[in-house]
Structure 1
Amino acid sequence: MNVAVAHKGSRPRILFVGMQSSPHVARWIEMIADRGWDLHLFPVNAVAPSDSLCGVTLHRPQLAGPRPEDRLERPPPSFARARAPGLRVEPFPVTLSDVGGIEALRAGRVPLGGSGRTAPLMQGPSSLEALIQELRPDVVHSLEFQHAGYLVLQAKLRAREPFPLWIATNWGSDIFHFGHDLAHRAEITRLLAAADFYSCECHRDILLARDFGYAGPVLPVLPNTGGFDLDHVAALSSGVPPSARRCIMVKGYQHFAGRAMTTLDALVSLGNQLRDYEIILYSVGHEPLERAQQLIADGTLNIRIVGSASHDEMLRSFASSRLYVGTSVSDAISTSVLEAMAMGAFPIQTNTSCCEEWFDDGVGGFLTTPHDVGLIRQRILTALEDDGLVDEAARVNAETVRKRLDRAKLAPRVAAFYEPVLRAARKRSGCEPPVLLKI
């Protein structure tokens, strides 16, 4: 039985705090946008929202001073113009006292604890607290730790009234990577002590949260980016078996976690075997971009560099690829792994993610390590030479996707995800318990 939560005389009100430009945020919210709930989003900066964000009211903090010189400059035009279907953007008036006075406003940013993370003052904890006092949501749900979660923590520490129940959702590297930094470790510990509910997309991260002292309830483990519309995926599929494809998808991140340069080293060592292949390099960092341009100029590899692309365009690229390679020192499930599995590309991903929770090494894909160029090279070579391996992996992964990533099946599970939180919120407020309605 699919269920939704309904309150007598009111709808559940959820305030999300997250990166409004992130398609991951948009896809999560989309899965409950048709439930009739009252959904709101506090942005972590003034960047334009994702084109796919819908079913939610986005609150844009705006200074409401009595004098023209006290008013904030106009928001970036891209933010003001952005209007996805089903998205409401509402200015939220913030007073000088809310942000600590004109001098604080001129300073521009506010620290989020002792980790070194900061937030724009207009999207800082004082503005968030003011919005919470006005909206009085049943639940505050932060989507990611270092920007959204730290922000909610500071708002809760400043709160002058009882704070709503708080779900803290862990994204990719929030604990697995940042937990090794002493300053972040202290902030993560404080966050988990203050949160009422915890959620994540890896069973690995439940154990890490417990190690950090979290003792509260853990919500069901679900992919943070939502699932796939499998009919749409089928429509984007090339229909070509992986063994007949002649493209390789490569994630181009080179930053605190990404190690695209290691992947490129492995590919260069396979130059002769890759003469008939096109390397599709996407999400490209500065250093990998320069390296790729040099390799193109030298004729070493046939590389196509992808700049901005729609999600459908990326899925089509996966559907034309024999394999996908992602190398990083930290990640959660990795959305790219799920996209590769959905489109039949053989995933080769570092074991610093939790992809082993989605496929068996050597069956649905390969696990590697982030610094072993030789191992990555060997895994790529095997996937290039073994047609049976990649075709069978596509079959196995398609079944996993059908069982675990079908959006039609995930959406009711996401709705049920909130039920214990909403029950607790109503119980705490002394209201009647929610009624479960069939959908």
Structure 2
Amino acid sequence: MRILMVSMNSIHFVRWTQQLKDSGHEVFWFDILDGGRAEGLPWVYQITGWKQKFPNFKGRYFLKKRVPFLYKKLSFLFENNTEKVFEKVLHDVKPDMVHSVVMYISCVPILNVMQKHDTLTWIYSSWGSDLYYFKNIHTYKQDILRVLPRVNHLITDCKRDISIAKKLGFKGQVLGTFPGGGGFDYKETNKYIKPVSKRSTILVKGSQGRSGRAIEVIKALELIKEELKGYQIIVFGADKEVENYITRKGISTKILLKVLSRSNFLPHDAILKLMGEAMIYIGNSNSDGMPNTLLEAIAQGVFPIQSNPGGASSEVIIHGENGFLIENCNDLEEIKKLIIKAISNSELMEKAFEINQNNIKPKFERTLIKKQVLNAYSKVLKN
């Protein structure tokens, strides 16, 4: 089977596609943002370098950076039309199926072409806030309502999005719910897992921006500085807004806090090592699907305190058993109480560790998920 993947270049896309290696399928990739080759996919036929009409034109970057509104207006002079290029790709590749990853990046720009080729099988992978957040914004919702009736098959990263997709017009076949980057290989990361009794770090995901709510977590931590004596707080992947807040408010002088900036690349292996040494992981946002970071934290033995937008996180966390759910991501009092409850209950920590290691973690093991994913593609072939 010839599979044409449509996606931007990202670590999760690469990991997902690696599951198709040696599967017997021919895999092609149309790099929808033309961001450059994916070094982790040397066996995939990669369609890149298609966007710029004049790739050596030196003034293009200057225009795009200094006068973006003008560049956007004149972009037709510098850039090839995505629909025309994609239609030529379909003609050249002749795929048995097209698999788009993420709605706005990889479905909407090729919708008109896919409607013309209405007998061509189309799979859509919903990730993160794809449906949950953007269905509430009129212009985006209109695109969702146009795309979903054309899509033949759906893959989600959480069960919540299946019902949302159906309400918004999806009438095709659901192929399954899997982590965005496929399963996790535990062979290398198990060595980082420390016993619960040896952990004293509180790890905070430092996302802010549109959906992240790390600053609310930091504010909650400020409120309990006395209770946190003896604990090291590490804010990793910190956005500039989060860094600025910590500096402006002098948080590091009130609690033992270390910031690992998003702008200073932290290798994935280093993050997993941090998780293996952390007692509590806190992830807080107003919108997400099933966070890969949450699943990695659970696998590394951390006690998770995680926001629960639309009930997605409750698919893996039973509140008060193997973690805590934040129901209101802006409620400092709720977040504060959950942190105090966690650090004062070592028995709960031990119990959660056992549940997560024995019951939750095995469900997301790489080999198991890969088998399920390949079975999902086989279902499409049979149809």
8 Å contact from structure 1 (residues 203, 221) kept in 2: yes
Q: Distance in 1 between matches of 2:24 and 2:212?
A: 39
8 Å contact from structure 1 (residues 31, 226) kept in 2: yes
- Does residue 390 (structure 1) correspond to residue 378 (structure 2)? The answer is no
8 Å contact from structure 1 (residues 204, 354) kept in 2: yes
Query: Match of 1:318, as an amino acid?
Result: M
Q: 2:62 maps to what in 1?
A: none
Secondary structure at the residue paired with 2:100? strand
Q: Distance in 2 between matches of 1:54 and 1:267?
A: 45
Worse overlay, 340-349 or 399-408:
399-408
**Pick from 49, 63, 83: which aligns with 1:61?**
49
- Does residue 365 (structure 1) correspond to residue 323 (structure 2)? The answer is yes
Query: Match of 1:412, as an amino acid?
Result: K
8 Å contact from structure 2 (residues 51, 82) kept in 1: no
What number of residue pairs does the alignment pair up? 367
After TM superposition, give the deviation of residue 105 of structure 1 in Å.
9.8
Question: Aligned runs of 1:315-394 on 2, under 5 Å?
Answer: 315-352=272-309, 354-368=312-326, 369-394=328-353
Q: Distance in 1 between matches of 2:369 and 2:278?
A: 27
Secondary structure at the residue paired with 1:213? coil
8 Å contact from structure 1 (residues 173, 332) kept in 2: yes
- Does residue 229 (structure 1) correspond to residue 185 (structure 2)? The answer is yes
**Pick from 134, 142, 148: which aligns with 2:106?**
148
- CA 1:300 to 1:125, structure 2 compared with 1: closer, same or farther past 3 Å? farther
After TM superposition, give the deviation of residue 262 of structure 1 in Å.
0.8
Q: Distance in 1 between matches of 2:320 and 2:197?
A: 16
Query: Match of 1:292, as an amino acid?
Result: I
**Pick from 166, 172, 181: which aligns with 2:128?**
172
Q: 2:54 maps to what in 1?
A: 71
After TM superposition, give the deviation of residue 109 of structure 1 in Å.
6.7
Q: What are the Cα deviations for residues 225-276 of structure 1, in whole angstroms up to 9, with x where unaligned?
A: 2111122221232xx2234312111111112211111111111112122232
Secondary structure at the residue paired with 1:198? strand
8 Å contact from structure 2 (residues 154, 176) kept in 1: no
Q: Distance in 2 between matches of 1:296 and 1:304?
A: 12
Query: Match of 1:130, as an amino acid?
Result: K
After TM superposition, give the deviation of residue 54 of structure 1 in Å.
4.9
Q: Which runs of 5+ in 1 are unaligned?
A: 1-11, 65-69, 76-103, 111-119, 425-439
Q: Distance in 2 between matches of 1:171 and 1:244?
A: 35
- Does residue 218 (structure 1) correspond to residue 177 (structure 2)? The answer is no
Worse overlay, 197-206 or 334-343:
197-206
Q: 1:310 maps to what in 2?
A: 267
**Pick from 249, 253, 256: which aligns with 1:299?**
253
After TM superposition, give the deviation of residue 53 of structure 1 in Å.
4.2
RCO higher in 1 or 2 (8 Å CA, sep ≥ 6)? 1
Q: Distance in 1 between matches of 2:352 and 2:181?
A: 23
After TM superposition, give the deviation of residue 377 of structure 1 in Å.
0.6
After TM superposition, give the deviation of residue 107 of structure 1 in Å.
2.6
Q: What are the Cα deviations for residues 172-201 of structure 1, in whole angstroms up to 9, with x where unaligned?
A: 111100000111111101110111111212
After TM superposition, give the deviation of residue 224 of structure 1 in Å.
1.8
Q: Which runs of 5+ in 2 are unaligned?
A: 59-70
After TM superposition, give the deviation of residue 308 of structure 1 in Å.
1.1
Q: 1:36 maps to what in 2?
A: 24
Query: Match of 1:13, as an amino acid?
Result: R
- Does residue 17 (structure 1) correspond to residue 6 (structure 2)? The answer is yes
- Does residue 107 (structure 1) correspond to residue 74 (structure 2)? The answer is yes
Q: Distance in 1 between matches of 2:51 and 2:292?
A: 37
After TM superposition, give the deviation of residue 378 of structure 1 in Å.
0.6
Q: Distance in 2 between matches of 1:300 and 1:106?
A: 49
Q: 1:185 maps to what in 2?
A: 141
Secondary structure at the residue paired with 2:238? coil
Secondary structure at the residue paired with 2:177? coil
- Does residue 408 (structure 1) correspond to residue 364 (structure 2)? The answer is no
TM-score of the superposition, structure 1-length normalised?
Answer: 0.78
8 Å contact from structure 1 (residues 245, 320) kept in 2: yes
